[in-house]
């Protein structure tokens, strides 16, 4: 399986996980000039901006640890662009990370706060 195929499989696993929790997927692989967001979902009235990280092992740390400050900044920039596109800026939102490993899916709700 290629890296791209593994990434797509991981995103599908994360998507299915969120749907089982009752969230509705609004966008997949949203990208704009400022950055990219793997999944955008609606959980009740809260918008979820989700970064999906895969790892085959934890030799270099957990998948969530790979979401560094620069990556968080790009996700936040993309989230702001998305909110402007849909005409909503005052909406409850959360930044989550979903780790996909050989052991399964681990959801980190509110993994980080908005950063400029």
State the DSSP string of 25-50: EEEEEEEETTEEEEEEEEETTEEEEE
- Summarize pLDDT for 42-82 with one digit per residue, the tens: 999 999 999 999 877 677 777 788 899 999 999 999 999 99
The whole-model pTM stands at 0.92
CATH classification of the domain holding 82:
3.40.1350.10
Which residue matches tokens 């793997």? 38
Adjacent-strand bridge partners of 98 = 52, 107
Structural domain count, the chain: 1
Domain with 20 in it: 3-112
Furthest-apart CA atoms within the chain: distance in Å: 42
| Residue 94 pLDDT > 90 | yes
Contact 30, 78 (CB under 8 A): yes
């Amino acid at each position: 399986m290629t890296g791209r195929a593994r990434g797509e499989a991981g995103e599908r696993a994360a998507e299915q996980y969120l749907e089982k929790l009752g969230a509705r997927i609004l966008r997949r692989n949203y990208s704009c000039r400022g950055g990219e967001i793997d999944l955008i979902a609606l959980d009740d009235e809260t918008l979820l901006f989700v970064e999906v990280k895969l790892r085959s092992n934890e030799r270099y740390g957990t998948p969530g640890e790979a979401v560094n400050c620069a990556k968080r900044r790009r996700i936040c920039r993309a989230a702001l662009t998305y909110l402007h596109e849909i005409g909503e800026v005052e909406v409850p939102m959360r930044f989550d990370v979903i780790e996909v490993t050989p052991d399964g899916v681990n959801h980190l709700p509110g993994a980080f706060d908005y950063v400029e």
